[in-house]
Chains A and B, each alone.
Chain A
Amino acid sequence: MDLEKLRKTAAEIVSRDDVKYLIGWRPGSFGYRVSPCFVQDAAGAEELIFSPLCASNLATYLTLVEKLPVPRGEEPDRRKVALLVKGCDSRAVVQLLVEKGIEREQVILVGLPCRGVVDLNLLQQKYPEGLEKGELSWQEGGFQLIRNGETATIPREEILAEKCRLCRYPNPVLSDVTIGDPVEPWETEADRGVEELEQKSVEERWDYWEEQFSKCIRCYSCRNACPLCYCDDCILDRLNPIWINRAVNFSENTAFHLARAFHLGGRCAECGECERACPMNIPLGKLNRKLAKEVREKYGYEAGVDPEAKPFLASYNPNDPEEFIL
């Protein structure tokens, strides 16, 4: 990874008058932690990194940022926001464009071809995290870990994140500048998580999800981490009408997760942030990937690849499948 080029490019971008800031990653304060950062000036760009630890999808911040009231007489800040994007992140940006969540002129995308990020849990199982910082980088066939001056090589399949095993878009689908050479897409694995469930009986699936949804503490991290869950006022929070009761129990949790998954149907960019953010390790990605798969296979539609596409849920094909109709 050409960090120097990334930092130089970022410094140039943030030095422009029409740019508010650049959103990127920088090392966290301990262990393997990586934190998102808002780079305001050239000096800040020196902190930027891009490594297999940069799993988070920064596109979330495009819509998460609060729009404070503009004092009378003042103009809102209409400067552009620059963003570092991996392949999956760029799909979220494309989907935001499809939904008019952002305007194309308002963002500058710095594309980063990505060879796959790691599942932090798997990494920690192998090399438990300590206070000392650990650095991870890509190398042929896997990852290189440098920690306490020691270097270790970890085979790729041991700690690669699940979403990356299934990734079909390692290169950004949309960017203004790209740092580094395009990555050769790899042979994707079968989505075992989804397929195993599909092969189970309806009752077994219900039992599986009953166990999973019962764990939910309704912290809404999945919603907040998702770059495409960005309604200012989520319907699941409303009091009139009440779609979902506040109570944390299996019924309400299930209703919440079904509604969340349904609202992402035909929209999910498959970045896996919901699942990564979940403190209870509920495999939310399976729900989203299942719908994405059905939408792809039955309707020939894929979210977040074509900024000119019509939104899946706001379009139809007269020949859409209807074998389920009586």
Chain B
Amino acid sequence: MSESFEPNIVAFLCNWCSYAGADLAGTSRVQYPANINVIRVMCSGRVNPLFVMNALQQGADGVLVSGCHPGDCHYMEGNFYARRRLGMLKDLMEFVGIDPRRFHMSWVSASEGHKWKEVVQKTVDDAREAGPFQGFRRRQIDW
């Protein structure tokens, strides 16, 4: 693994908590690595677990899904569904030998700008340690 490897991270953030928390990190000028690229969804429950797989296939070295804390979901239950689905996906990915450091899930509320930074740091560090994820890369990515 080369020293200069910088992982590419795709993050799915719910609009109401984690995206807002990341916005707060911005307004608070909290500095964190630029490797993280956010896709906004309305709820972590929207994140089809196959998105995670798809991101890893299409050029991501790590994936993060973040939603509201349990009980705080703007849609009441979406994060509970997300937790169950993505927990199962994580088990599956680990079983086929995808480094568990490549996929993380977190609860970040709209007031946790600093937690967002920590989550990003951890996700990026972990993916950096896991190295480039070439094996699974799609041959030709069209969009």
Contact = CB atoms under 8 A, between A and B. Distances in A.
Quick check: do A and B touch in the complex, using CB within 8 A? yes
Contacts of B49: 262
Interface string B42-55: 00000001100110
Contact of A294 (B88, B105, B107): B88
Contact of A313 (B85, B107, B137): B85
Interface residues of B, number: 40
B106 A325 contact: yes
Given A254-B136, A322-B70, A316 B83 contact: yes
A262 B139 contact: no
A202 B138 contact: no
A206 B70 contact: no
B46 to A, nearest CB: 14
Chain B contact residues: helix, strand, loop or mixed = helix
Interface residues of A, number: 46
B43 to A, nearest CB: 13
A274 to B, nearest CB: 15
B92 A261 contact: yes
Interface string B116-143: 0001001100000000000111111000
A251 B138 contact: yes
A203 interface: yes
Given A202-B94, A262-B49, A322-B87, A251 B57 contact: yes
Contacts of A249: 139
A299 B85 CA distance: 11
Contact of B84 (A205, A247, A316, A326): A316
A324 B90 contact: yes
B95 A287 contact: yes
Nearest to A252: B138
A326 B115 CA distance: 10
A208 B97 contact: yes
Interface string A242-262: 010101011110110111011
Contacts of A326: 104-107, 119, 122-123
Contacts of A3: none
A290 interface: yes
Contacts of B57: 251, 254-255
B100 A202 contact: yes
A324 B107 CA distance: 11
Interface in A190-208: 197-198, 202-208
A325 B138 contact: no
Interface string A18-52: 00000000000000000000000000000000000
Contacts of B70: 318, 322
A259 B96 CA distance: 12
A229 interface: no
A291 interface: yes
Contact of B95 (A198, A254, A313, A322): A198
Q: Indicate the member of A204, A245, A312 with the most B CB atoms within 10 Å.
A: A245
A298 B135 CA distance: 30
A217 to B, nearest CB: 17
B77 interface: yes
B75 interface: no
Interface string A219-250: 00000000000000000000000010101011
B96 A243 contact: no
B139 A290 contact: no
A251 B140 CA distance: 11
A262 B54 contact: no
Interface in A294-326: 294-295, 298-299, 312-313, 315-318, 320-322, 324-326
A285 interface: no
A290 B105 contact: no
A258 B138 contact: no
Most buried by A among B54, B84, B89, B100: B84
The 10 A-B residue pairs with the shortest CB-CB distance, nearest first, are: A206-B97, A205-B97, A316-B80, A326-B106, A294-B91, A209-B96, A265-B88, A290-B95, A316-B84, A325-B105
Interface of B: 49-50, 53-54, 57, 70-71, 77, 80-81, 83-85, 87-100, 104-107, 119, 122-123, 135-140
9 contacts: A197-B95, A206-B135, A207-B97, A252-B138, A254-B57, A266-B88, A299-B84, A318-B71, A326-B105
